[in-house]
Chains A and B, each alone.
Chain A
Amino acid sequence: MCRIGAIKSLNPIHPSMALTLMLSQQKGHDNSGFAIVMKDLYGIFEPYKDKPLLSYSCTEKGKTIIEEFMMEKGFSKKIFRWEPPVKPFKGMDFAKMPFYGFDVFNYPDNLMNAPWETKEDALLDTRLELRKLLEETGDGFVFSFWPDVLTLKEIGNPNHIGEYFDLWTKRDDILSKNIVIQYRQNTNYEIVRYAAHPFFLQGYTLCANGENTFYVKNKECQKSLHKGYIGFESDSQCFLYTLHYIHHELKWPLPYYKHVITPLPFEDIDKMEAEKQKSLYKIRESLAHLEINGPNTIIGLLPDNLMFTCCDSKKLRPVVVASDGVTTVITSEVCGVNDVLPNRDPEKDIYPNEREIVAITNDMEIKRWKQQ
């Protein structure tokens, strides 16, 4: 089972805290990858919050491809580049890429004053085109292209990856108020970088564990719903696409995400008042192919940085939410929480049930929506 985690804090935090959160949760022999998404950035990225940030890894040739492409797309003004300091060491067990880049751009002139919807679309198109271009020659990967979002993904031993990028040393250059992270444990050795969660799409970030037993149904349905629903390298991508579809495309409130992915059993719906019944039936009818049927736990982060978790309807995967008032953690197993929030009151830890969404607001308030 993959271990997943997320941290939200009033004070910007360093990825080392996320690595510590995951360390004691590691099990099994595989540990086939690592991915982290940071959102609401501080430290060296703080001045560029409103500028799109491209997160990628590539070959030397890939670097040129990216530069030329971005230029051609009008993203000619690269205003900042962060090249993570790397520390190669002996016995390193992961497949590293020659170059990792995090570039901040100015919007092209035609987008500068465009409405947000136009910008959103342009950023997505740019990432998708770039991804396609890099895939053609196998020269690189592009993980996110969005303001205030940084993504890093690698295949191999997660601890080694952290060490290589010197993420274990707590510093104040790379900080953020939201981190979503995953330590992959996968028995499928033929994995690609894109398969590592958290996934990212237009401000939405999501990671999940377990298997999506309705993957084929979800995928077949999503393929025709939106241009951004591509790849499907992991069955968990479906959860992100459904989240994006419900919340961004249909503009339904978040609790309806839960109603779509884990509809209430008919016997429960039938007990409700008529109006509610009607809407729940209609949702179940219209979006039957986006239902999930477990076993999964999902951690999501919305464009406005609301962080949440929910499970499949049978709660076949564990998850805990814990907070000390300043920092809140959502993760697979409580041992990880003990390492990062030793002084919290464990009695207040929340073990979400199969029918709720537990969400953390930007001022650390914990909200619980029960599916009813």
Chain B
Amino acid sequence: MEATVKINEITQNDLDWKICYDSERCTRCGKCIATCTFNALEMQVEKRAYTAVEPELDNPTAHKRKFKAVPVVKQISDLNHKCVGCGMCEKVCPNEAIKPERNIDSREALINHPGGSPIKRGGRTNLSTERTLDKIKVGRISQMTDPSLDAQRHTFDLKTPFGRILGPEELPTKFIDDEMKIEGPTPPVRWIYPIIIGDMSIGALSTRAWEAICIATAYLNEKHGIQIRMCSGEGGMPIKLLKSKYLKYMILQIASGHFGWNRIIKAMPEMVEDPAGILIKIGQGAKPGDGGLLMAAKVAKHIQEIRGVPKSDLLSPPNHQGLYSIEESVQKMFLSMNAAFQFRVPVAIKVAASSSSVSVYNNLLRDPYHIVGGFFMDGIQGGTGAAHQVSLDHTGHPVISKVRDAYLAATAQGKQGRIPLFAGGGMGMTYDLAADAFKAICLGANGIFAGKIFIQLLGCIGNDNGRCNQCNTGLCPTGICTQDYRLVQRLDIDKGAEAIVNYMLNVDTELKKMMAPIGNSSLPVGRSDALVSVDKDIASKLQIPFVC
């Protein structure tokens, strides 16, 4: 029997976003429909009643009810064409006639499982958005006995080591006329800006977006002396860049799929500079235990070339095949990566923060070969280009307490700083990257890494409240996360790069502004006494004072 009211049919009110449309203001230019990459809008014709005056001989004011067909813009109430709230229609509408509106009664998460499939998306967790960092304040302000510094006048050393650090007793020192000489090899260490642009691959990003970030990175280094480094993400990079002098600003990533490494290895003889480092990705905070995923929709021809693959879903396995223990990963992976660049380039590891991170870190600290040059911990609030929503929202571990634990574990052995710690996952989530970096550093991190905020600077409008997050679909409305040649034109490379440069210049000043009041001119790594927390539990976990 057919339903009397078709309650199983999807209507606007079942979806996360509803389109507000004012047909009075609409001029039917059609821009919104043309712009919407998700095909969430269509032109329809509505039957409208109106009253017309049709004078008759005996009744000059006679009225008639009449009908007309009116073209209108309508939202398609269909899960395959659902509105994602990107607001592009609103952006292009010349008349403020249309905009998306959040639907608080949405049932989308419940019903969006066509064919029984789980929801996949990009972005960050949309559930665990409360942040530890926001409950921490810089409470130790220098005033009388330890004067604040002048952020304008003093020299600030905003650099952090990246590479395996030897203890003083391990240094091959020799004194000639009381002058220290370092005789013998030491692991490579680079001093870099304490913020690293985190690993977003070409493939996950459009080449134009990736290029904009590269340009910003190079510009910040060359013009402003901010030694920021960018990590390539898995999937290699253009040959031209591999052979250019700008390679020195890039950290090459190798993940379990080993994508792109053929070309990297082939380019080695022609490299004019060493890369800034190698990052072996073991895990990712946004989807710990999950491998990488690049949907076929995004594997365009140039991506196939860079990665050396056919067009299909590209899956990096959840683990590095053949590595069954930390010891083994140290020996095999690190040694081969170190050896590849003849021990001139620091090799670091990136793992998803988890209950066992500290044991892993401890193990690496004790590695007798001194070949692990950095420990990157990625927390649950990290972003991704594609993951199951259930992973994004429910699996993972906050990064802050883990970084603190790892630092304190190293401290207990007198080995703090030997393997620099970098914290990521949700850095810049509230757009305060400088404050986030500063607090993480005081808790023991040597630096932080961040990704999402940099594409947000390019123009990505996705957020952690369910807006867009369609990075996996190849339909990115801002041209950042897609390989569709029409969509990528939406991104202005120069303007995007400029936004990143401006933001980082501001971060640089803000970092100084935070260091000055605590009276420090070099990075306060581990200076937990500068922090207080307004949350008792956070304070006790991180071993900082509770204040209220």
Query: Which of A220, A256, A285, A316 is B411 in contact with, Cβ under 8 Å?
Result: A220
Closest to B156 in A: A265
Which of the candidate stretches B71-79, B167-175, B397-405, B505-513 sits at the interface with the other chain?
Answer: B167-175
Q: Which residues of B contact A276 (CB under 8 A)?
A: 179
Q: Which residues of B contact A285 (CB under 8 A)?
A: 161, 165-166, 189, 417
Query: Which of B179, B189, B414, B521 is A293 in contact with, Cβ under 8 Å?
Result: B521
Report if B93 contacts A (CB, 8 A). no
Q: Determine how close the nearest CB of chain B comes to the CB of A59; give it in whole angstroms.
A: 34
- In the bound complex, CA of A187 to CA of B145 (Å): 10
Report if A326 contacts B (CB, 8 A). no
- In the bound complex, CA of A220 to CA of B147 (Å): 24
Q: Determine how close the nearest CB of chain A comes to the CB of B352; give it in whole angstroms.
A: 27
Q: Which residues of B contact A220 (CB under 8 A)?
A: 411, 416, 526
Contact A217 B526 (CB under 8 A): yes
Contact A314 B521 (CB under 8 A): yes
Closest to A264 in B: B157
Contacts A221-B416, A266-B157, A279-B180 given: A314-B145 contact, CB under 8 Å?
Answer: no
Q: Which residues of B contact A278 (CB under 8 A)?
A: 182
Report if A224 contacts B (CB, 8 A). yes
Contact A293 B519 (CB under 8 A): yes
Q: Which residues of B contact A266 (CB under 8 A)?
A: 157, 159, 191
Contacts A221-B416, A275-B181, A285-B165 given: A267-B522 contact, CB under 8 Å?
Answer: no
Contact B189 A250 (CB under 8 A): no
- In the bound complex, CA of A214 to CA of B3 (Å): 73
Contact A250 B168 (CB under 8 A): yes
Interface of chain B residues 143 through 171 with chain A (CB within 8 A): 145-147, 149, 154-155, 157, 159, 161, 165-171
**How many A-B pairs fall under 8 Å by CB?**
108
Closest to A215 in B: B529
Query: Which of B159, B161, B519 is A295 in contact with, Cβ under 8 Å?
Result: B519
Q: Which of B181, B412, B413, B521 has the most chain A CB within a 10 Å cutoff? A: B521
- In the bound complex, CA of A228 to CA of B52 (Å): 101
Q: Determine how close the nearest CB of chain B comes to the CB of A319; give it in whole angstroms.
A: 16
- In the bound complex, CA of A224 to CA of B365 (Å): 15
Q: Which residues of B contact A221 (CB under 8 A)?
A: 411, 414, 416
Chain A 270-295 per-residue mask, 1 if CB under 8 angstroms from chain B, else 0: 00000110110111011111010111
Q: Which residues of A contact B173 (CB under 8 A)?
A: 252, 279
Report if A253 contacts B (CB, 8 A). yes
Query: Which of B165, B191, B519, B527 is A286 in contact with, Cβ under 8 Å?
Result: B165
Query: Which of A256, A289, A293, A316 is B180 in contact with, Cβ under 8 Å?
Result: A256
Contact B525 A288 (CB under 8 A): yes
Contact A287 B157 (CB under 8 A): no
Interface of chain B residues 429 through 461 with chain A (CB within 8 A): none
Contact B526 A1 (CB under 8 A): no
Q: Determine how close the nearest CB of chain B comes to the CB of A220; give it in whole angstroms.
A: 5
Query: Which of B186, B191, B525 is A217 in contact with, Cβ under 8 Å?
Result: B525
Contact B528 A216 (CB under 8 A): yes
Contact B411 A224 (CB under 8 A): yes
Report if B256 contacts A (CB, 8 A). no
Q: Which residues of B contact A250 (CB under 8 A)?
A: 168-169
- In the bound complex, CA of A214 to CA of B521 (Å): 11
Size category, B interface: 35 or more
- In the bound complex, CA of A115 to CA of B255 (Å): 56
Report if A213 contacts B (CB, 8 A). yes
Q: Which residues of A contact B416 (CB under 8 A)?
A: 220-221, 289
Contacts A224-B414, A289-B416 given: A279-B181 contact, CB under 8 Å?
Answer: yes
Chain A 212-256 per-residue mask, 1 if CB under 8 angstroms from chain B, else 0: 011111001101110000000000000000000000001011011
Contact B411 A295 (CB under 8 A): no
Contacts A213-B142, A213-B146, A313-B521 given: A286-B171 contact, CB under 8 Å?
Answer: yes
Q: Which residues of B contact A211 (CB under 8 A)?
A: 145-146
Contact A288 B520 (CB under 8 A): no
Report if B56 contacts A (CB, 8 A). no
Closest to A2 in B: B145
Report if A210 contacts B (CB, 8 A). yes
Q: Which residues of B contact A224 (CB under 8 A)?
A: 411-414
Q: Determine how close the nearest CB of chain B comes to the CB of A33; give it in whole angstroms.
A: 16
- In the bound complex, CA of A214 to CA of B528 (Å): 10
Closest to A278 in B: B182
Contact A286 B411 (CB under 8 A): no
Q: Which residues of B contact A256 (CB under 8 A)?
A: 180
Query: Which of B146, B170, B526 is A294 in contact with, Cβ under 8 Å?
Result: B146
Contact B165 A314 (CB under 8 A): no
9 A-B pairs closest in CB distance? A224-B414, A211-B146, A253-B178, A279-B180, A216-B529, A286-B168, A285-B165, A293-B520, A220-B411
Contacts A/B (CB < 8 Å), 19 sampled: A216-B528, A217-B526, A252-B173, A252-B175, A266-B157, A279-B180, A279-B181, A282-B166, A282-B182, A285-B161, A285-B166, A286-B168, A286-B170, A293-B521, A294-B519, A294-B521, A295-B147, A314-B149, A316-B146
Q: Interface of A with B (CB < 8 Å)?
A: 1, 187, 210-211, 213-217, 220-221, 223-225, 250, 252-253, 255-256, 263, 265-267, 275-276, 278-279, 281-283, 285-289, 291, 293-295, 313-314, 316
**14 more A-B residue pairs beyond the given contacts A216-B528, A223-B414, A285-B417, with a C-beta to C-beta distance below 8 A:** A210-B146, A214-B527, A215-B529, A216-B529, A220-B526, A221-B416, A224-B413, A252-B180, A253-B175, A279-B182, A281-B189, A283-B180, A293-B520, A295-B145
